[in-house]
Amino acid sequence: MPKQLAVVPERCSGCKICEIVCSMSHFKVTNPKKSAIRVMVVYPHPVVRMPIVCSQCRVPKCEEGCPVDAIARRDGVVEIDRDLCISCLKCLKSCPFGAIFVHDDVEYPIKCDLCGGDPQCAKACPKNAIIFIPEHVLGQAQRLNNVLSYYHMKEIEYFERGEKKQIRYAEIGKEEI
Amino acid sequence: MNTVRGGYFGQILRVNLSTEEWVVERSSEGFLLQYIGGRGFGAKLVWDNLKAHNFMVDPLGEENLLVIAPGPLTGLYLPSSGKCSFVSLSPATGIYGDSNMGGVFGVELRQTGYDAVAITGKAEELSFLFIDNGDVSIIAAPELRGKGCLEAEGLIKQRLGDHSVHVAVIGVAGENLVSFACVNADWSRNAGRTGIGAVMGAKNLKAIVVRGSKDLPVYDLERLNQETCKAMSYIKNHKFFKLWQEQGLMCVIDYANNMGILPTHNFRDGAFVRSEAINGFTMESKFKIGDSACFACPMACGNICLVKDGKYAGTVTEGPEYESCAMLGSNLGVDKFPAILKANSLCDELGMDTISVGSLIGAVIEGYETGLLSLEDLDGEPIQWGDDEKIIRVIENIARREGIGEILAGGARKVLNHWPQLTPLLSHVKGLEQSAYDCRAAISMALAYATCDIGAHHTRAWTVAKELEDGQNWSLEEKATFVVYHQTIRPLFDMLGVCRLPWIELGLNEKHYENFYAAATGVELSLDDLMARSREVYDLTRLISVKRGVSRDDDQAPVRWLKDPVQTGMQAGKTIREDDFNEILSTYYRLRNWDDEGKPLPEIEKRFD
């Protein structure tokens, strides 16, 4: 089942643990700047903390932007082929999310490879702001939200053991379109 | 065995703002081993500078040295490793002063390749120091004069064309040499106490900007990782972990209120009747919009708060944490949380320490209420408990040194010179205003304030909770021993460059830190060995103070602790007995191997040559 790294910015506290563990697992060093994930922090209006990481797009813009065809998606991971890459950094700009990174000491662009299917950032995040979930789960929360906020719903109140409760229901076939 | 094999870049950056020269100084192995980092490095460098000037250094003079030092663990993968110390001679006290901040600034500073930065001299015009991966430039920026911390940070990032740099900046208060001006980084992290912001202001140094991308030196990454996984898993499974994420230090408001040690009405009362309006639950349910964590911290004790309606609508700030909320809230009789948020965010933007601000304004309000200050003293405008609008005006006045602010901006010492009648109301030690725990029910806390090396602050020893909970029957000797223990282990965290909250609040075993240190540096030292180093640094900071004229007379308890019983709350009626205080002070000196005047024995000084 294909899985994706998803980010829930509302939960992120900006601690950067994801950046450290990424650099540790890929480069065996402690260096938040050598990571394939970056926590963006914006303040004070609005206050947002959002980890930026590759979405492994099915139609990768980085692939389109690569002049030497070094980028391709294989088994759900968008990979840079180091034999072909000329490190022109065009991919950094062509990614609409800015999810490819560069570091002086590293010859090639730094990009998320999902750690071979076990992303360390998702494992270490203390706030569950980075989650590794089956692709079909993406959007589930929004779908559910959408259903629950459907405005044609009716509400009734009732009492159960003296406690006031509420249920909502949609009447079948009564709404005009 | 004791060879340093990691943990340091082994170089210190020295910058002279007057001559615009900078040099890189190699650190000897002995220096790294003895002083570890953070405040340890700071104390040693400040000591050397003082010696070179025959101990005649004006804290606001060109010759004063400002040291910014993270520690060997700063930035590594271990719980809450984002601490960075700012060390100098304090303009508030005239003696050793330090303050540290969390966040990311210290990590980025280390990544420039320096273990510490030591700044002396004075720039010709308002400037900022830019440390860019080992390269250094002093950039004149007179356009930043009068700008608030956040505004200046934004302007600097714009000018450098890079929003990923980290900026430690002073506000208007620092420029105006307010003696409790702080340094602010990344909007919300402050090196608050002892007036380091004024030291920067006196150097015409508006900001220190860092951009670093170097690998942090670690000797044994695998060992560090294993130790950290254990520590992280302990923290994440702690029963208070969730509360900590939800409320952070704000949960202490209820605790302090219940224990009767919440500063209320300028420490007159020990509990606040309206405390539920300013406690952690109010903050969390009505104002909190997000969590904020320092570097590598799973606890995320920072709270982003927003006022959604009313006259302070739109105020957004990270905080308040406990000290700010108590000192700007209950201590001033303010029961409106939005007003506290406003005052807090104003202090951040102007660059002032919320503890000192709350303490000084509290003394003024009580002074006016009791008739010790006249309406004329207050520029004709009355001020009373809970008068948030007036309090906020006074905060601005202080930063701009206008009206009554001109007097308050000098700090406790200057205020008492001007208004000696406030002596019974304004509690300070060595010129630093007392922080937000009433100590009259816990003599160990009074001793901790009196002997804290920067003045009346809880940073070195926070013994009040333990004494009230478990130590009622302890002898004075046991209490003094406990203070020395705290004053030894707590500064160790500042030397290592990590936060002590996982240990003090969630009980993370302190033994982890010897493994962290060993994994980072390759030096196998026991916790006791590390604590011995910390204890030496405490001797050193004491020596600095003694050379600057401090003696037993300066370790005395303020009038309020001795003469003025707590009026309400669980500790009502409590004061410190003067005999007890003198006895515990003598005991303390003995435990520290200092003479009865509080002077370290002569042979101790030789260790710091």
A49 touches B at CB < 8 Å: yes
Which pLDDT value is given to residue B86? 98
- Which phi and psi (to 5°) does residue A76 adopt? 80, 5
Last residue of a domain, one of B185, B211, B237: B211
Which pLDDT value is given to residue B1? 57
A127 touches B at CB < 8 Å: yes
Looking at the structure, do residues B379 and B526 belong to the same domain, yes or no?
no
The 3 state secondary structure assigned to A83-152 is CCCCCCCHHHHHCCCCCCECCCCCCCCECCCHHHHCCHHHHHCCCCCEEEEEHHHCCHHHHHHHHHCCCC
For residue B304, the chain A residues in CB contact (below 8 A) are 47
B295 touches A at CB < 8 Å: yes
Looking at the structure, do residues B123 and B238 belong to the same domain, yes or no?
no
3-state helix, strand, coil in chain A (%, to 5): 25, 25, 50
Architecture of the domain defined by A3-135: 2-Layer Sandwich (3.30)
Looking at the structure, do residues B332 and B453 belong to the same domain, yes or no?
no
DSSP for residue B215: P
Give residue limits of the domains in chain A. 3-135
* Number of separate domains in chain B: 3
Mean pLDDT of A152-171: 82
Q: A141 falls in which pLDDT band (50, 70, 90)?
A: confident
**Contact of B169 with B183, CB cutoff 8 Å:** yes
Q: B166 falls in which pLDDT band (50, 70, 90)?
A: very high
User: What distance lies between CA A12 and its chain's CA centroid?
Assistant: 12
- Which phi and psi (to 5°) does residue A131 adopt? -130, 150
A106 touches B at CB < 8 Å: no
DSSP for residue B296: T
- Cα separations in angstroms, B332 against B250, B365, B382, B386: 17, 8, 14, 6
- Cα separations in angstroms, B436 against B223, B274, B448, B505: 39, 17, 13, 17
Which pLDDT value is given to residue A142? 87
Q: Is B297's CB within 8 Å of A15's CB?
A: yes
Radius of gyration of chain A (CA): 22
Looking at the structure, do residues B516 and B598 belong to the same domain, yes or no?
yes
**How is residue B296 written in tokens?**
């590598």
Which pLDDT value is given to residue B300? 93
Q: Which secondary-structure segment (H or E) carries A24? A: helix A17-27
Measured distance CA(B18)–CA(B133) in Å, rounded: 22
Model confidence pLDDT, tens digit, residues A70-122 = 999 999 999 999 999 999 999 999 999 999 999 999 999 999 999 999 999 99
- Which phi and psi (to 5°) does residue B444 adopt? -65, -35
B497 touches A at CB < 8 Å: no
**How is residue B44 written in tokens?**
């040693």
Looking at the structure, do residues B200 and B292 belong to the same domain, yes or no?
no
Is the pLDDT at B609 greater than 90? The verdict is: no
Mean pLDDT of B208-214: 97
B300 touches A at CB < 8 Å: yes
Nearest to B9 by CA among B92, B62, B74: B74
Q: Is B77's CB within 8 Å of A21's CB?
A: yes
Q: Is B221's CB within 8 Å of A105's CB?
A: no
Last residue of a domain, one of B190, B211, B232: B211
Looking at the structure, do residues B113 and B53 belong to the same domain, yes or no?
yes
**Contact of A119 with A5, CB cutoff 8 Å:** yes
- Map tokens 């065996």 to a residue: A28
Q: Is B295's CB within 8 Å of A103's CB?
A: no
In a domain, B248, yes or no: yes
Lowest mean pLDDT among A68-82, A161-175, B346-360: A161-175
Q: What is the CATH number of the domain that holds B358?
A: 1.10.569.10
Lowest mean pLDDT among B67-71, B185-189, B259-263: B185-189
In a domain, B353, yes or no: yes
- Map tokens 């909190």 to a residue: B288
Looking at the structure, do residues B182 and B79 belong to the same domain, yes or no?
yes
Q: What is the CATH number of the domain that holds B67?
A: 3.60.9.10
Measured distance CA(A126)–CA(A21) in Å, rounded: 12
Mean pLDDT of B337-346: 96
Looking at the structure, do residues B182 and B295 belong to the same domain, yes or no?
no
Looking at the structure, do residues B494 and B347 belong to the same domain, yes or no?
no
Q: B461 falls in which pLDDT band (50, 70, 90)?
A: very high
Using CB atoms, pick whichever of A13, A27, A29 lies closest to residue B293: A13
| Residue of B214, B224, B242, B349 to mutate, interface with A, max A Cβ within 10 Å | B214
Using CB atoms, pick whichever of B188, B289, B292 lies closest to residue A13: B292
**Contact of B187 with B358, CB cutoff 8 Å:** no
Model confidence pLDDT, tens digit, residues B177-200 = 999 999 999 998 999 999 999 999
User: Can you name the residues that pair with B210 across neighbouring β-strands?
Assistant: B131, B166
Please give the residue range of the domain that contains residue B372.
Answer: 221-433
Looking at the structure, do residues B300 and B367 belong to the same domain, yes or no?
yes
3-state helix, strand, coil in chain B (%, to 5): 45, 15, 40
In a domain, B245, yes or no: yes
Residues 6 or more apart in contact with residue B537 via CB below 8 angstroms: B35, B39, B40, B43, B44, B491, B495
B446 residue type, one letter: A
Edge-to-edge order in the sheet of strand B166-169 = B135-140, B127-132, B205-211, B166-169, B183-185, B189-191
Mean pLDDT of B310-339: 95
| Residue of A15, A28, A123 to mutate, interface with B, max B Cβ within 10 Å | A15
- Residue B161: how many other CB atoms lie within 10 Å: 7
Distance (Å) from the C-alpha of residue B254 to the closest C-alpha of chain A? Answer: 24
In this structure, what is the dihedral angle of CA atoms B15, B199, B546, B531, given to the nearest 10 degrees?
A: -70
Which pLDDT value is given to residue B323? 95
pTM of the model: 0.95
Last residue of a domain, one of B157, B190, B211: B211
Measured distance CA(B108)–CA(B211) in Å, rounded: 6
Cis peptide before B217 (omega within 30 of 0): no
Is the pLDDT at A176 greater than 70? The verdict is: no
- 3-class DSSP state of A156: strand
| Average pLDDT of every residue of chain B | 96
**Contact of B87 with B43, CB cutoff 8 Å:** yes
**Contact of A106 with A34, CB cutoff 8 Å:** yes
Q: What is the CATH number of the domain that holds B591?
A: 1.10.599.10
Which pLDDT value is given to residue A175? 57
Model confidence pLDDT, tens digit, residues B519-542 = 999 999 999 999 999 999 999 999
Which pLDDT value is given to residue B456? 96
Q: Which residue of A has its CA nearest to B305?
A: A47
In this structure, what is the dihedral angle of CA atoms B174, B178, B184, B190, given to the nearest 10 degrees?
A: 160
Complex-level ipTM beyond the 0.85 threshold: yes
- 3-class DSSP state of B226: helix
B291 touches A at CB < 8 Å: yes
User: Can you name the residues that pair with A156 across neighbouring β-strands?
Assistant: A167
B65-78 core/surface letters (b: 16 or more CB in 10 A; e: else): bbbbbbbbbbbbbb
Of A1 and B21, which is predicted with more confidence? B21
- Which phi and psi (to 5°) does residue B84 adopt? -145, 130
